[in-house]
Structure 1
Amino acid sequence: MRALLLIMAMLPLFANALAITTGAKLPTIQVNSSGFITVVNDEIQYQAWDSNSLNGKVYLIQAMAGRTSAKEINAPMIEAVKQAKLSSDQYQTVTIVNTSDAVFGTSGFVKSKLKNNAKDFPNAAFIQDDKGQVTKKWKLAKKSNAIILLDKQGNVLFAKDGALNAQEIEEVMSLIKSNI
């Protein structure tokens, strides 16, 4: 009876586990609603985005809710990447924002900020996910921020949903440098 109660109590933990496995490929996802934000002649355009396009470089994916609080969760990781001044020929940051997980009434602001970031950081990629497809497919937590690192072949080197501590940031930076 005790074992059954323990199993029942742990079921929610398994249900919330990431659908991402270190050493494997990411679960494939396409974002067709909005998607990849491009800047052409200073004008914003959207293209469908497919996670299978993430190969040929080392990619750090930041998949997050469209909330300031979510952005702040892994700000130290993003700052470490900025400070490292990595070559855009071998490395790229991909930010996927779930605009359906924004504070009520702020999704317009979030989308505007994404467009500005696409203009201000041309070496990064910004994906606008209006339907929360990535969050659902990869089983990410709501109101959160996940960091996923891929090697040049698209294999997962590191994945965590939630705040990275200093040791994990150091680990990710070491993995980036050893794989570029």
Structure 2
Amino acid sequence: MKKFLPPLVMSLLFSHSTLAHNVQLNQPLPAINVNNDGEILFDNAISYKNWHSTSLAGKVRVIQHIAGRSSVKEKNQALIDAIKAANFDRSKYQTTTIINADDAVIATGPFVKSSAEDGKKQNPHSQVVLDQKSAVKNAWNLKEKESFIAVLDKNGKVQFVAEGKLSPEQIQQIIKLVRHLTQ
């Protein structure tokens, strides 16, 4: 006798799979270039340069991709606070924040850009990327209006990945993982 899954279960399975990111453990992030605006640089003045995901190897990293909305930024502020408190060796570790300005509340684009630039000034050792065209979101198949977190080893391979608000247990897992990877 054949068994069929109820239609609701099937629709949930297929709708989830179409929304799932395409980032895989023990693999590099899918390659993407951000040319509009790109990585924010700060050396007495703000400037921009093209950013390439292939440049992430060399240091252990927490990658945070966020929609350009304060509500999304706040979702994983506890992780950022835990990273700051951990005081990781900057020669071995770097946080990379990618802000999707294309996924901002209508008419807030200039505020998102200014906020990203202020964030770079406050944390010059962190890497901040401003994505005006959803290039990263589209390349990695990320959810709109959401937060995405990945931990990369020094070879640029994904060791942890999650979308949405992290649990306290996940935050501790990330901190322990980064400590282990930076030894």
TM-score category by the smaller chain? over 0.9
Distance in 1, matches of 2:170 and 2:45, equals: 37
Aligned-pair identity (%): 35
Q: What do the CA deviations read for 1:5-44 (whole angstroms, capped 9, x no partner)?
A: 243442110001111011111111110111000013x211
Residue 33 in structure 1 maps to residue 36 in structure 2: yes
Matching residue of 2:78? 76
Deviation at 1:87, TM superposition (A): 1.3
2:62 corresponds to which letter in structure 1?
L
Stretch moving more, 81-90 or 4-13: 4-13
Matching residue of 2:136? 134
1:18 corresponds to which letter in structure 2?
H
Deviation at 1:107, TM superposition (A): 1.1
Aligned residues: 179
Deviation at 1:3, TM superposition (A): 2.9
Deviation at 1:2, TM superposition (A): 4.0
Matching residue of 1:146? 148
Structure 1 gap ranges (5+) = none
* Higher relative strand content: 1
Structure 2 gap ranges (5+) = none
Deviation at 1:4, TM superposition (A): 7.1
Q: 1:94 aligned to 93, 96, 121, which one? A: 96
Distance in 2, matches of 1:69 and 1:33, equals: 24
TM (normalized to structure 1)?
0.96
Distance in 2, matches of 1:155 and 1:10, equals: 27
Q: Secondary structure at the match of 1:146?
A: strand
Distance in 1, matches of 2:127 and 2:31, equals: 17
Q: What do the CA deviations read for 1:31-76 (whole angstroms, capped 9, x no partner)?
A: 0111000013x21111000000001110101000000000011111
Question: Alpha carbons of 1:69 and 1:150: their partners in 2 closer, same or farther (altered >3 Å)?
Answer: same
Q: What do the CA deviations read for 1:160-179 (whole angstroms, capped 9, x no partner)?
A: 01011011111100100000
Matching residue of 1:163? 165
Distance in 2, matches of 1:137 and 1:161, equals: 15
Question: Alpha carbons of 1:84 and 1:9: their partners in 2 closer, same or farther (altered >3 Å)?
Answer: closer
Matches within 5 A, 1:105-120: 105-120=107-122
Distance in 2, matches of 1:35 and 1:22, equals: 25
Distance in 2, matches of 1:25 and 1:7, equals: 31
Residue 23 in structure 1 maps to residue 34 in structure 2: no
Stretch moving more, 16-25 or 62-71: 16-25
Q: 2:64 aligned to 53, 62, 65, which one? A: 62
Q: 1:104 aligned to 106, 124, 129, which one? A: 106
